[in-house]
Amino acid sequence: MTLAEFGALYGVSKQAAEKWKKRGWIILKDGDIDVEASRKKLKKYRKPRPVKAVNPEVDGKVKVKGKKVDKKLSVKPGETPKQAADRIISEADVTMDFEEARRIKESYLALLNQLEYDTKSGLVVMASDVAREVGEEYAKVRTRLLAIPSEQAPRLHRLKTVAEVQDAMQECITEALEELTKDAI
């Protein structure tokens, strides 16, 4: 059996099989490949079928053997990043050698670790947390502003001119907003 034929068993090129030979993963016996011994040795490093993966590009396309294919690379609602990666990989029809798959995996893990670090250091926050906090602050502002008419109605009732009412309302609203700003600090 030639190196190319042996590589084909694992879905890799002859060059990849030559790299395996240099690393000692392919066992030679009398100048020929000892298939069974090589399979046992490779079992530690390689599955007997090709690995599927994708190479995401900046423009949201997937690169498949030099061709661009339109695919949305995004996390669907209720899906974790790991589940999204598994889904994208299973949908893509791309084969690559073990070294390329390992490189992509290591890059993915490095980016995941960077994201975890940024999250813990406060550089990245969950959008849902921000939305909840903003919603709570808007609720406070709304409640405080809606309370102004009932608090100030007796006072405003005694005023005679439109200018006096306008000044009193401006004062009340400014006071309420300053009160809310003090709470945020």
pLDDT interval class at 52 (50, 70, 90)? very low
How large is the average pLDDT for residues 54-80? 54
How large is the average pLDDT for residues 49-67? 43
Residue 138 has pLDDT above 60, yes or no: yes
Per-residue pLDDT tens over the stretch 94-122: 667 778 888 888 888 898 899 888 888 98
**74 alpha carbon, distance to own chain's centre:** 8
Residue 151 has pLDDT above 80, yes or no: yes
At 119 the pLDDT is 85
**Domain boundaries along the sequence of the chain:** 3-43, 51-121, 127-184
At 170 the pLDDT is 92
Residue 50 has pLDDT above 60, yes or no: no
At 72 the pLDDT is 55
* Least confident span in 13-17, 66-70, 87-91, 154-158: 66-70
Give the predicted TM-score (pTM) of the model.
0.37
pLDDT top residue among 52 and 84: 84
Per-residue pLDDT tens over the stretch 1-26: 788 887 877 778 888 888 888 888 88
pLDDT top residue among 160 and 78: 160
